[in-house]
Structure 1
């Protein structure tokens, strides 16, 4: 027991040290960056206040969530704390200002996170359509992917449900203005596990149009620096034909058990603005935009 206990103490000390590194950086450098003083009075309609006729898609930083549709996953007080990444429904997140959604699905058209399943994809579709019906100038980036280890649901279902709103796959979209997209308003990236990927011109977008560089760690400073390093390797947004997602989250590890996902994710969530400020300070400001930040 002594070696195990000693390891746990070392892991705890490492987490505290990594948290302090981020906290100290925030205290010394601040989290201000060009445009950071903008505070939309209405989060539900924040895009409409950005002059959609002039603002290009590649100039927008899309606030997003990780495992977006997990608010009711698992059994309350038993399995839910280990898989619930969001406490708000899809509709509530969109109203709060989220514009990039990450939804994991399985063969039965149910949303899932690992082995745990929750409500059907119909609930997600209904929430998205409800939000679109209540707004006029808001665009949503929706990623639907088959969870690892599961079979693919039919991608045609997404087209059937969202067809009238889907922005068709087109590399030129990233240089278009927000106003150019308002006739449809949903960019849906479909990432099946085994089924064929959508073809060019399809209503659904292929995985290559939404990229990220995920590392599995519960250490906030490690994740912060990894995100910065990978983003710095991307092309400037003006030259890209894809969205690049920064995963501003950390994940529980088996060698340091916790009773809830929130114990871990809260270590880094407060530093999203610091990340953008540091990106600008390190010369990566032209890489920001055109992708989701979670």
Structure 2
């Protein structure tokens, strides 16, 4: 116990120092990037508002959510604060502009985050179908994976194909060079990542894990995560030449060796710096690598920033 106390003091100092580093960077660099003042008038239909015939898939900066279906996970005020990464339902996230969903499942088809569980995947699918029925030009990138430490749901690939049917965009590397309009009436790119079952086959209805990549940096230190995200992003090929999606997550995560283990106060250390990250991508010459940008507790401003970058790309300002 005695040896633990000095370590906690050092961790607290490190967190404080890194938070100051972020504030100083923000103060010196600001949030200025092409079209940064853009605010879509209709976030629910923001792709339609930018013209589906002009938006190529590789030019989109996709706003995404991390652990998307955790708004009702665990028990309120007891276990929920340790696993909840979003307060909005899947439908509400889509309405405010989210276009990439990160869904974790276990063997019984219930959504989970670690050992904590929530509603059935059917709730997620119902929300997605409702959103699709109310819009005409929005494309969703849906990632579903078996959570670490869990077994795959039986026959899950067939289940997904049955649920979404004709709206699924088949795996094809040429998709990245197509416009949204060229993909209609298909509207979902579904990436299925099983742990033990065979992965989706190339050219099939679903996309495999190799088509959605990221570099997960597991830390609660905001400046460490921020700079690591920039470094990993800089090592990726430009979006114009990629045949996979690459995700950057504007999150930091609680660590088991530190007393603060609730998600919201921890991820709050980096949450407000999404626009700063985009600004740094431009200033460091790696904007042309940024493709999926995800966050905990997504809000309208995060979506607006991603839409602004997408607009700047299709208008040849970036």
TM over 0.5, shorter chain: yes
Higher relative CO (Cα under 8 Å, sequence separation at least 6) belongs to 2
Q: Which residue of 2 aligns with 1:63?
A: 63
Q: Which residue of 2 aligns with 1:293?
A: 294
Whole-angstrom CA distance in 1 between matches of 2:56 and 2:32: 22
> Is the 2:250–2:293 contact (alpha carbons within 8 Å) kept by the matching residues of 1?
no
Q: Which residue of 1 aligns with 2:229?
A: 227
Residue 257 of structure 2 aligns to a residue whose secondary structure is: coil
Query: Where does structure 1 differ by over 4 angstroms across 4 or more consecutive aligned residues?
Result: none
Whole-angstrom CA distance in 1 between matches of 2:158 and 2:32: 44
Q: Offset at 1:4?
A: 2.4
Whole-angstrom CA distance in 1 between matches of 2:198 and 2:278: 36
Residue 249 of structure 2 aligns to a residue whose secondary structure is: coil
Q: Offset at 1:292?
A: 4.0
- Bigger shift: residues 103-112 or 47-56: 47-56
Written as runs of structure 1 = structure 2, the 5 A alignment for 1:1-294 is 1-153=1-153, 154-258=156-260, 260-289=262-291, 291-294=292-295
Q: Offset at 1:38?
A: 1.5
Q: Offset at 1:12?
A: 1.2
Cα deviations by residue, 1:180-232 (Å, 9 ceiling, x for unpaired) = 12311111100000101111121110101100000110001000011100000
Q: How many residues align?
A: 293
Whole-angstrom CA distance in 1 between matches of 2:35 and 2:179: 18
- Bigger shift: residues 256-265 or 235-244: 256-265
TM-score (ref. length: structure 2)? 0.90
> Is the 1:61–1:293 contact (alpha carbons within 8 Å) kept by the matching residues of 2?
no
Q: Offset at 1:164?
A: 1.9
Cα deviations by residue, 1:123-168 (Å, 9 ceiling, x for unpaired) = 0000000000001111111000000111111221111111121111
Structure 1 unaligned residues grouped into runs of 5+: none
Whole-angstrom CA distance in 2 between matches of 1:266 and 1:184: 36
CA RMSD of aligned residues (A): 1.1
TM-score (ref. length: structure 1)? 0.97
